[in-house]
Structure 1
Amino acid sequence: MPPISQRKLVVFDFDGTLVDSMPGIVATARAVMHRHGWTDEELGDMSRLVGPPFPQAYSMVYGLSEAEAQQVTEEYRAIYAGLGRDGWPLFEGMDALLGDLKAAGKLLGTASSKREFLLRRGLETNGVLDLFDFPMAKLSDHGDSKVAALGRALAAAGVDGSEAVMVGDRRFDAEAATSCGVECVGVLYGATAPRSELESAGCAAIADTIDDLRRILLG
């Protein structure tokens, strides 16, 4: 397997990796959960919602039934979709890194638990959609996954796992990568997970900053 800096395809997670969406996600989810009678004390650390797919995240974190999670998700999306770019700004320096990766001849993809139309909107409103060769995300809330999105990126690029690297901020990214035979680089600059989570998930490298990530991906 070639060094990470020599991999042909770089696949990014979206939330917490490309964009600083945690404040918008948490604020929107908090408002919706308040409507449903949850207190701030009961909600606790809502950053736990960043990473797992919706609507399942509400069941995983708060024990909501499938029907309750779906209802909360629909209300959440009605608000979140209207936030615009302020709800999902690129991390500072990410646009330059993406440009450098393209200049180095890399193919760029995404594998996100977001629905595909929201992913594309997020990339487009940040002015970077054209940099991505294979922007992949969930096609539906049921019967699709980050593993499937990553698999579609690999297939579209015509590469196997040894020629690709996944970049993500949560264990879900590393687990999806492992399922597809891809190594994962974990990132900490979004403060969505502790280093221990990424280490336990088997990340091949961990970047504290965008500059760290550039060194890992480009050498």
Structure 2
Amino acid sequence: MRTYLLSAILLLELLSPAIAQRRDYLVTIKTPYGPVQAVLFDQTPKHKANFVKLVKAHFYDGVLFHRVIPQFMIQGGDPKSKGAEAGAPLGSGDVGYKVPAEFHTGLFHRRGALAAARDNNPEKASSGCQFYIVQGKVYTDSTLAPQLKRAGRMPTDEQKNVYKTEGGTPWLDGNYTVFGQVISGLAAVDSIAVRPRNAANRPLSDVAMTMTVRKISKKKIRRRYGYVFPAF
């Protein structure tokens, strides 16, 4: 009996990494316009671990989407925005550290991309807490070409096609780290992006968020949201 028990334990230890790979984090951002669900990429492990850590610590609860630009993106994560006075300038808050850039050629600024904001540091290191979600717009060959000149890298033909069908913000590629993807709730992103705003692009009415994260099976994510995890 003891031999069988030890064999079973050993088998579980061998299988545990494979079992773990079948599950992943699902982030839910609750907004006044509905929930937004996103997955985080294994290809950007530093950003993934940092974001999960902050969400589990309830860092984002009560924080605002403080910068919104239609056909571009919605930005949040400034801790100074929690309880900020109406009209106060926002965007300078941080957590006292940066996350090293994690660029990956397979991850790009398509519609719904979850990416890290940053300042103008030469290493292109990310803010430790501020992020944005791409709303973007759809491009044609003629309108896409000048945007690619501003990008930090050239997208693949497949990625160009996504920009011409789904939309995105191609000039940010290679300049800001994409570390996740919205898989449900883009209508809420669209609603936030068009909120009336002031000259600094802060919404005139506060758009607060709360955030949760939990691990569920990738199979359930595929079935429920139709999302296929990247294999690169």
Whichever structure has more helix as a proportion of its residues is: 1
Q: Give the number of the structure whose alpha-carbon radius of gyration is greater.
A: 2
Q: Which structure has the higher relative contact order (CA within 8 Å, separation 6+)?
A: 2
**TM-score, reference length from structure 2:** 0.29
Task: Answer 1 or 2: which has greater strand percent.
Answer: 2
